[in-house]
Amino acid sequence: MPGAELRRTSPATRVVALLGLLAAVVIPQASAVDRSKFRTCEQGSFCRRFRQWIKRPEIEKPLWTIFKEKSENVGGGEYHFQVKHVHEATPHLLLRVNAYSSGIVRFRLGEIDPVHKRHEIPVGDAIADPPPVGSEKVDWMELPEASVLSFETEAGAKVKVEIRHSPLAMAVAVNGQIVQRLNSRNFLTFERYRKPKELRPPDELRDAAVVIDSAAHPHDLDTKGLWEEDFGGHTDRKPRGPAALGMDLTFEGGVPGLFGLPEHGTKASLPFYDEPYRFYNLDVFEYEIGNPMALYGAVPLLWAIHNFPGSKPVTTGFLWLNPSETFVKLERASGEGPKNPAHVWWVSESGVLDASVLVGPAPPTVSGQFHALTGLGAMPALWALGKHQCRWNYMTQKDVAQVDAGFDKHDIPYDVMWLDIEHTDGKAYFSWNSANFPEPGKMIQSISDKRRKFVNVVDPHIKKDEKFHVFREVRDKGLFIKKIDWKMMDDPSDVKPADWVEIEKIPDPNATIPEGWSVEDDGQWEAPKIPNPEYKGVWHPRQITDPTSPQTDFEGWCWPGTSLYPDFADPAMRDYWGSQFALDKYTGTNADTYVWNDMNEPSVFNGPEVTMPRDAIHPYGNVEHRDLHNMYGYYVHRATYEGLQKRVPNDRPFVLTRSFFVGSHKYAAIWTGDNYAKWDHLQASIAMVGALTLSGQSLVGADVGGFFKHPDNEMLVRWYQLAVLAYPFLRNHAHLETPRREPFVFDDETMGLVKDSLQLRYRMLPVWYTLFADYHRKGEPVVRPLFWDYLSDPNTHTDEDALENEIMLGNVLLVRGVTKPMTEADKGSVYLPVTPGGWYDLYTGDNTAPGRHEMQFTLQSIPAYFRAGTVVPMKSRVRRSSSCTWQDPFTLKIYLDPTSGTATGRLYIDDYKTTQYQDGKSFLEVEFEFKSGTLKASSMSGSLTDIVSTEVERVEIFGLRSPPTSAVLSQSGAQHTLPKPNTRQITTWTSTTPLHTAVVKVSPWIDLRTTGWELKVA
């Protein structure tokens, strides 16, 4: 859903709804984002100060140092070090270092007894609760110039952390090789809170001519914006003063690329822009591809690949956990490139410094370490992996029924019908437009009857309307965010200087008594008054913002017009919000209705940068909005998820969010926002989805076909061909003013190709579901960049196709998007990483060598290859929804390593919809092995009832050296001779002799719940 720029036509044109607002704050639809509405580093005072700070003279001189006398081992792998500034009398900062057994080194730097409490993310928000387990055995050694911590990770990696005392800096080594250095360039700044209008933070030493921090130094200090600043016609008052913190980071070794940092519309291998990457969650209209502007979400996680001479490549990660506005600058030293280290600096507006080094050293361990810190993702229901049908908007109940019927008429599968904001009564969420949706309960039940689901949008801005119960109840509970009606006052701590002269005029010292002046006759002579050159004016105390200035509920504009914004950081507000989804409260819904939280950055049409003012106040904890801005959307969708958990216990909730932060993966699916029907947006979706999955968010996708404008037939086909294989969350969505885009409204050829793609998605749902089980239990991304699986292949670090056009579905399938029209490029290349046995074409089954291949594109498919040595579970029967396939048997596709004739794979099954699997037994997981012509289960766990099928009806084997002539199934003590396999030849790169495929029809079916079964072909 777009922001304020988008117009809607409806009753009285939403009347005057956004009347003067729209005239004042809305810019007509354009072809690209209006950059003038959004700040750059130079336009934000704290980032501008930091850039000046890191250019200061004598930057190498120590500032912050470890106060060794105050170092402490507090147990559980945690160590405390007091940090003293060289120009201050006592330590004012505390450094906490945690050595977690999973392989995380966490550094937290905060104030000791601050003037104002600094915001720190509460325990259980973003970070897992309980936090990761500390290493049981850490060796702590004190050297004259450094403190050294050494420990071994659960996976056996040896980690060494050296904390240099002066200037404060940290180096992290893995298996004897330093991989990351923190503050090695001495960029560290920590702007402690000051008293009102004070230049320096409190301390006994008061010399103003020394370097303290980026807000107090003698080197052409930029004081603009310390206490208030303007942007876009809005004034941001800062009664607590400057509070920024920043630091440099170096990834050591030869670093061919850096990855992650979602959400930005950039390449997968992050470009080193002149402008830093910005994290400030915003409702960005028609965002561009190829720049570091902030978008809707923020996960400040950076991955690096390191190459060291004589060693295998390693990966590490770095997480900067701060929810205030943050800038991240990627840099190379002059003349350096991929064979040299990569440098980064980070700066945030407020809060505390909370940084974690994920030591790896392999991609799976980096992913596991991130999830050890933040928690594992939820296991989605199977239906959530099917097709979601959405647009802004299906306008009536009849419209919904016709779209649903259209899919059935053309035998196109889909799982979920969606409604956007027009279904509500005047944008009052939790309500229905009774004229257009007179019987919502009946409408939703008709979808449920077909074993499909429903999703309604519920945005977090609350319509100001006394008739709207949510508005009244949240207001009466005092749970809305506040604005301060600023008043000024005399600073009680400001004292008139002793040398202050307030005498305006003094006797003229040069005057003389006039001749003939008689005291008796003329009186006492007084010299005439002249202006006092020492006069300083009437002294007035310094004016400061009155801390008791009254607060009122903050009001902004959004879709309903005047709207208020709940304080979702407050657990009481989250509890209230969640309760509104109860079936006896949210009328017209049933247990098959789920939720979409949009506009939750939050979007405020008349606010600065189309969002909430930074100086708004969250009553819970008296926190300024600037301190937690990037977590607002997180708190919204968490509240929704927890409400759905309570609504139907044992159900798996589904929530889609646009705005997100670290930890969102535990509660919500994510999409890449309001993209464009353009080829560059199609290509960028590969990188954007990959960045999200590297950052722990696996249930993600992009709007298929683009949200803005309308794709031509070829673009639509290419988008579906990519999405069904590369987007874990598969939804098409479109702007109100675009033509209808359901597959069946296109010509027969286009509809047929889209249908083929969707049917392929549904046949492959067992693969997707099994991979999500890995994600849920181990944190392995469901789709991921090629280097995640093939780090030892250097081409996956640098090859343009491998990085920007390709992505892996688990370790099973490589997908190469076609992201240009055939009139522009009807040929292209694909890079297949080095792996034993090569790759098998998804469509033909031909065996292809690793390496680069040039190919002729056709409209019928995009390049996609199964890895040799893989057993792939699928379902051959396609129904109208995924829930209709529960009782259908499986097909196993076996792609052999032709050299060894072997393959392995897995299948995970549960009831597909509830949390019953969490009992540790209500699931079935089977490890398959094919060796010496025999397929069997090498292991099996769980015990699943017959609520769903656990049977195999068909086995297809690719890469056989000779065509088999017989097949025998041994099961439950009996042998069954099966029909002769159907065979055909396929090409291979390993020899001039062709390989063969065999299709074995299995009857009786293999029951995977039984033990000891074997299928032998010969």
Kindly list the catalytic residues.
Answer: 598, 674
Contact 580, 469 (CB under 8 A): no
Q: What is the DSSP string of 825-872?
A: -SEEEEEE---TT-EEETTT--EE-SEEEEEE-BTTB--EEEETTEEE
Q: What is the DSSP string of 638-702?
A: HHHHHHHHHHSTTB---EEESSB-TTGGGT-EEE--S-BSSHHHHHHHHHHHHHHHHTT--SEE-
HEC string of 146-185? EEEEEEECCCCCEEEEEEECCCCEEEEEECCEEEEEECCC
Residue with tokens 């350096």: 336
Q: What is the DSSP string of 501-530?
A: ----EEE-TT--PPTT--HHHH-S--PPEE
Rounded to whole angstroms, the Cα distance separating 615 from 114 reads: 19
Rounded to whole angstroms, the Cα distance separating 1013 from 914 reads: 29
DSSP state of 804: I
- In this structure, what token pair is assigned to residue 653? 């909730």
Nearest alpha carbon to residue 216 among 408, 77, 52, 459: 52
Give the DSSP H or E segment for 626. Answer: helix 625-628
Rounded to whole angstroms, the Cα distance separating 305 from 373 reads: 21
Give all strands (DSSP E) within 674-797, no chain letters. 700-701, 730-732, 783-784
Residues contacting 725, CB < 8 A, separation 6+? 760, 761, 764, 809, 813, 815, 862, 864
Rounded to whole angstroms, the Cα distance separating 791 from 640 reads: 38
Rounded to whole angstroms, the Cα distance separating 201 from 199 reads: 7
Rounded to whole angstroms, the Cα distance separating 250 from 329 reads: 12
Contact 380, 654 (CB under 8 A): yes
Give the distance, in angstroms, between the CA of residue 289 and the centroid of all CA atoms in the same chain.
17
Burial 798-837 (b: 16+ CB within 10 A, else e): ebebbbbbbbbbbbbbbbbbbbbeeeeeeebebbbbebeb
Maximum Cα interatomic distance, the chain, rounded to a whole number of Å: 146
Contact 317, 302 (CB under 8 A): yes
Instruction: Respond yes or no on whether the N-terminal peptide bond of residue 785 is cis (omega within 30° of 0).
Output: no
Angle (nearest 5°) at CA 754 between 753 and 757: 90
User: What values do phi and psi take at 668, rounded to 5?
Assistant: -150, 155
Contact 597, 657 (CB under 8 A): yes
Rounded to whole angstroms, the Cα distance separating 747 from 756 reads: 14
In the chain, count of helices (H) and strands (E)?
16, 58
User: What values do phi and psi take at 736, rounded to 5?
Assistant: -55, -35
- In this structure, what token pair is assigned to residue 158? 């040896």
Rounded to whole angstroms, the Cα distance separating 384 from 396 reads: 24
Q: What count of residues does the chain have?
A: 1018
Q: Rounded to the nearest 10 degrees, how much is the dihedral formed by the CA atoms of 706, 710, 711, 716?
A: 70
Partnered with residue 1006 across adjacent β-strands are 952
Q: Which sign, positive or negative, has the C-alpha torsion 621, 625, 630, 636? A: positive
